[in-house]
Amino acid sequence: MLLFINWSCIDADESTSLLEECDILNYRIYQGEQLTLGEVSREFIFIGIDKSYTDEDISDFLQTQNFLDQGFNFTIHEDAQYQFKQIPVRLNRQRNCSEISVILESLEGSDIIAYAHPTFETDDCQDAIGNPVGEQCVRVYVSSFFVRVPNPEELTALQELIASTNTEWLGANQFMSNWHEIRATKNSQGDALEMANFFLQSGVVNAVDPGIGIYPVR
């Protein structure tokens, strides 16, 4: 299960830019500041696969990917509220950022893959109440994010932004009508983290909440 993060506990001074020599985005914008997600993991990546595919389909596909560690005992995570099965997988050796970018692009060229994202190193491996969930975890983000509009009765600008970025509107929050869920697909102008930051910087929305959390890998 995805374990969401309390961003008030993350040090905004840790890092506020793209990783050096790396084109992978490693921050989200929160209350006007860039908050790092951590160093890009050289060992693990994170993939999402539609629930219409069986676990056997997924296993068969992953076995064909020679850049993955075939000895890694991966876990397929499912959430009743989320369309995709989520899987952290380990690479067959440590890779640099350029290699990881190529691998992610290659994976997203496969029909079975809904999204392929980098992961980020973290010392946090506990759930919301402080119980350990594993010996080692990685920080991840999923394919959807939430945005807050200033006026829930006026959505024209949001709809235009969704159309121009080729993202998808998933619906309004049933309890807070000014919050809307958006999904980035492989055909969007960027992945979910890039689009969350872009939507906030556009001025059309006044807050975003990317789907960021941690998963155990050991």
CATH number for the domain harbouring residue 99: 3.30.70
Integer Cα distance of 211 and 144 in angstroms: 6
Q: For residue 80, tell me if it sits in a domain.
A: yes
177 and 202: one domain? yes
- pLDDT for 21: 60
Max CA separation in the chain (angstroms): 52
Q: pTM, whole model, 2 decimals?
A: 0.87
Which letter does DSSP use for residue 200 in this model?
H
Domain count within the chain? 2
Answer with the one of 80, 107, 133 that is the final residue of a domain.
133
Low-confidence ranges of the chain (pLDDT < 70): 1-21
Residue pair 115/47 in contact (Cβ under 8 Å)? The answer is yes
Q: For residue 26, tell me if it sits in a domain.
A: no
Answer with the one of 114, 133, 152 that is the final residue of a domain.
133
Q: For residue 15, tell me if it sits in a domain.
A: no
91 and 126: one domain? yes
126 and 79: one domain? yes
119 and 46: one domain? yes
Domain that holds residue 206: 141-214
- pLDDT for 81: 87
- pLDDT for 32: 87
Give pLDDT tens digits for 140-167. 999 999 999 999 999 999 999 999 999 9
Give pLDDT tens digits for 101-128. 999 999 999 999 999 999 999 999 988 7
Q: For residue 92, tell me if it sits in a domain.
A: yes
